[in-house]
Amino acid sequence: MSWVSRSAGVRQLVDSGKLPGETVDNGPLRLPQEAVHQERNRRRRTARSPLNRAPAGPPPAGPVEVDVEDLVERAVRAMLPLMLEPARRAEQAAHDAYLEERALRMAAEARAGELQVRAELAEQRLRERETPSESHPPPTEVRPERRWWRRSGS
């Protein structure tokens, strides 16, 4: 025999006589282990039996008319968002990539415009240096370059 704590299900089985057992001093129940296993196996067999299941509802009185087109339409409407979700995600990813590429292209075009202006200014300065102007006469004497860290006398 084994000791079992007080639980409502086991207590009901003992009280109804389905399980042999005894209560010791208003405490735990004392049950034969074999009886517990037999009851558990009996419940497992009856739970799996198709005859044990309750019918879903009253049986139909006669032939049932079913609108197949309506059922198909409902099923398609229910599944349509699930079927379109991958396409929506792909479209969103493509759109995000387009926006990113567009931003990069616009930044590159702006940088190219800036470089073009700088190149034109550099060309203009070069042309000004090549053509002698009256305000800036050419230097007559070229002095050797003196390093800043050397003394002036050396």
Hey, which residues does 2 pair with through a beta bridge?
A: 31
- For 30, which DSSP code? E
Same domain, residue pair 39 and 75 = no
Q: Is 118 inside any structural domain?
A: yes
Q: Are 26 and 6 in contact (CB under 8 A)?
A: no
Same domain, residue pair 105 and 73 = yes
21 vs 85: which has the higher pLDDT: 85
Round to whole Å and give the CA distance between 77 and 88.
Answer: 16
Same domain, residue pair 82 and 119 = yes
pLDDT at res. 35: 80
Q: Is 58 inside any structural domain?
A: no
Q: Is 87 inside any structural domain?
A: yes
Query: Which residues form the domain of 29?
Result: 2-49
Q: Are 31 and 2 in contact (CB under 8 A)?
A: yes
What does pTM read for this prediction? 0.35
Q: Is 116 inside any structural domain?
A: yes
Same domain, residue pair 76 and 34 = no
Name the pairing type of β-strands 22-23 and 2-4: unpaired
Statement: residue 21 has pLDDT above 80: no
- Per the structure, the count of domains in the chain is 2
Q: Which residue matches tokens 């005859």?
A: 51
Same domain, residue pair 74 and 124 = yes
Round to whole Å and give the CA distance between 27 and 80.
Answer: 61
Q: Are 13 and 19 in contact (CB under 8 A)?
A: yes
Contacts 24+ apart (CB under 8 A), 119-123: none
Q: Is 102 inside any structural domain?
A: yes
Q: Is 153 inside any structural domain?
A: no
- Here the tokens at position 63 are 């032939």
Query: Confidence band (pLDDT; 50, 70, 90) for 52?
Result: low
Would you call 69 helix, strand, or coil by DSSP? Answer: helix
Kindly state the average pLDDT of the residues 51-79.
Answer: 77
Same domain, residue pair 76 and 117 = yes
Q: Is 145 inside any structural domain?
A: no
Residues 79-106 pLDDT 10s = 888 888 999 999 999 999 999 999 999 9
Round to whole Å and give the CA distance between 116 and 111.
Answer: 9
Same domain, residue pair 43 and 90 = no
Q: Is 8 inside any structural domain?
A: yes
Hey, which residues does 22 pair with through a beta bridge?
A: 30
